Each structure stands twice: as structure tokens, then as C-alpha cells.
Amino acid sequence: MRVKRNRRNGLRWALPVAALASFLTAAAGLWPPAWVENGFSRGIFPLVSRAIGPFSGLAGWSVLDLLLPAALFLVGYLVYRRRPLAVLGGLSGAYLVFFWGWGMNYHRLGMEAKLDFRTDAVTEASIAQFVREAAGEINRSHREAAAPDPLAVAATADARVRAVIETLDGVPVESWGRPARVKTSRLLDPIFRASSVTGMFNPFGHEALVAGGLLDVERPMVALHEIAHVRGYADEGDASFVALLAAVHAPDPRMRYSGWLSLWMHMRSPENDALLDAGPLEDLDAIERRVREERVAWVSRGQGRALDAFLRANRVPEGIRSYARIVRLAAGTRHDWERFR
């Protein structure tokens, strides 16, 4: 009986020990980026995604709307029954699923290592030239685009991201299985709006979630960004850049416009805005108006701090500032975009 009890206690501690070891090795940066890139992100992860994705893809609703209440109920029940080790084991298991099912992608090679990144292209003069080019693309694509069709954009978003990743990483499109679906979480959508969050990736269901109140000009780029997460790009700056490449080279001018306009949000100034036509300026004002009307200040601050802490814990030293890294990436690699056309 003593041997069985000791064995059972040993199994109860296995998950917490494994989770702690995974967290500590990740926090210490012990995973070689080249191994993560070639062994996990391009090898193991597509298989994991192909196994998990179809289950959430079958549901028209977010599986997170089911998982969250179930997890909260289970934790509450275990606390009520005074089983702290079971709670610890459950939380440890959730972390292991997150880390080994997707989170390892935080440790892959950065975008600068995959493209011909030129530091001389991120000088003040070069950035000014890039801003003028971006303004021209925004004005042109706005004139060409009619009102975006959300259903059409959602149907092509995953194909656009796959095409970029196949060119960038050499991962065959068929490795990913069925296309990723873009969904809205009924449970989390009020929180998204109050905290000015436009979307989220669910690592437990490998699904892309977008906020329900987005404008038509915002939704394409947000969908592309979240699908880039689904396809293994965890870093926010890298995911935004994959989404940008997918958008600006799309045949649909509505998608191109959304991509360039999203990039412009990180480059706004009175001087820069003077380069835009009236239509894009109206869309930018509409986006800011939507954010102001929906934001709840204390919710937004709390979410921002939590996200910043989460990103820093996962080896993203810039925290939430990593979102703005897309401007540096875009300007420094603009000459290398032609191969994605």
C-alpha cells in the first residue's frame, strides 16, 4: 500500500515538475532558436496544428466559450473539495499543452534572420521615403476598393498567410491540413471591446478569434494577424509582418488597403497624415472613434499590463511594444518583398 501511495503521489507531482522545468528553460532562453525553427516550428508544430485544428474548425462557435467555463467550474470544484494538488496539476497540464502545443514558437528565429534586413533602410531619411510610399499605396488601394466583404476576406485569409509562410519558411501548404476559420467569441467579445483588443489566438483550440465590433477596413488585417498566430508565428511583430505581406500582395484591393492602413496606424503624425486623401483619413478617424466609444479605461489598462507581462515572460523583451516593431521590419525589408508577390 505504501508503494502504491508513493507512486500515486509521484505521478501527481509529475505535471507540476514538467511544467516548471519547461517554464524555467524557456525563461532562461535555453532553447536554441535554430533548433526551434527547424525542429519544432517547421516540423512538429504543423503536425500538432493539423491534429488539433480540425476539431475546432468543425464548430461554428469558439471552443474557448466552452473551455473557459468548464475550466473555471473544475477549478472551483477542486478548491471546494480542498484538493490543491489537483488544482496545481490541472494548471500545470494546461501550461504544458500551451507551451508544447504552440508556445515554443516564441523561441523561433526572428523575422530579421529570414529576410534580407538592411539597417541602412531604417534611417530617418529612409523611413520618410517609406512613409511616402505607404501613403501612395493607401490612397491608390482606397480608390480601387469597394466596401470589404467580410465573408470573402475570411475565406481567403488563411490561403494568403499560407502562401507567405510557404515562401518564407518552405513549409508546404498541405502540411497545415484544413484552412483555419475566423471566429468571434461570444463570451470574450465584451472584454475585447472594453480593452480595445481586436483579436486573439486560442492556443487550446488553434483558432483565430476577432472582435465583433471591428470596422470593415480593420477586419481583414486582424484576421490575417490572428491566422499568422494559428500558423506558428507567436511574436506579435512577426505575426503582424506575416499578415502585412499577405495583405499587401493580395489581388483584392480591399485586403491591400486594410494591410497598408493597419501599418499606417503605427506611423501616424500630423505631417504624415497630410499625405493621405480624405477617404483614408475618414477611415482612420472612424477607427479611433470606435476605440474611444468601446474602451473602458481600467479594463484596457489591466489587459495591457497583463499582456505585457505575458509577452515578457515568453522571451519577448519589448512586451506590448513588439506590436510597433512592424514598422522597422517593413522598412528594413521592403526591397525583399518582391519574392512574395
CA distance linking residue 288 with residue 97, whole number of Å:
37
CB neighbour burial string for 167-188, b if at least 16 within 10 angstroms, e if fewer: ebbebeeebbbebbbbbbbeeb
pLDDT of residue 179: 77
82 and 185 in a common domain = no
166 and 39 in a common domain = no
CA torsion 152→158→159→160, rounded to 10°?
90
Category of 53 on φ-ψ map: left (φ > 0), alpha (ψ -120 to 50) or beta: alpha
pLDDT of residue 56: 77
Would you say residue 310 has pLDDT above 50?
Answer: no
8 and 90 in a common domain = yes
pLDDT tens digit string along 10-63? 567 888 999 999 999 998 889 999 999 999 999 899 888 888 877 777 777 888
Residue after which a domain boundary falls, among 82, 107, 132? 107
**Residue 293: all three cell numbers together:** 466609444
Please tell me the total count of domains within the chain: 2
33 and 9 in a common domain = yes
Please write down the HEC assignment for all residues of 194-224. Answer: HCCCCEEEECCCCEEEECCCCCCCCHHHHHH
Between these two residues, 116 and 180, which has the higher pLDDT value? 116
Residues 6+ apart with CB under 8 A from 86: 12, 78
Residue after which a domain boundary falls, among 107, 127, 153? 107
> pLDDT category, 309, cuts 50, 70, 90?
low
- The phi, psi pair for 210, rounded to 5°, reads -125, 150
pLDDT tens digit string along 252-286? 899 999 999 999 998 888 999 999 999 999 999 99
319 and 229 in a common domain = yes
Burial of 164 from C-beta contacts in 10 A (0-12 / 13-18 / 19+):
buried
> pLDDT category, 339, cuts 50, 70, 90?
confident
261 and 205 in a common domain = yes
pTM tops 0.85, yes or no: yes
Percent of the chain with pLDDT over 70: 85
117 and 103 in a common domain = no
pLDDT of residue 53: 78
280 and 170 in a common domain = yes
Residue after which a domain boundary falls, among 70, 86, 107? 107
Domain residues for the domain of 186 are 111-340
Q: How distant, in Å, are the alpha carbons of 174, 186, 223, 288 from that of 103?
A: 22, 25, 20, 32
Strands (E), the chain: 182-183, 199-202, 207-210
The overall average pLDDT reported for the chain is 84
According to DSSP, residue 188 is labeled: T
CA distance linking residue 82 with residue 79, whole number of Å:
5
pLDDT tens digit string along 154-197? 668 888 898 899 888 887 767 777 778 889 999 999 999 988 89
Residues 6+ apart with CB under 8 A from 70: none
> pLDDT category, 307, cuts 50, 70, 90?
very low
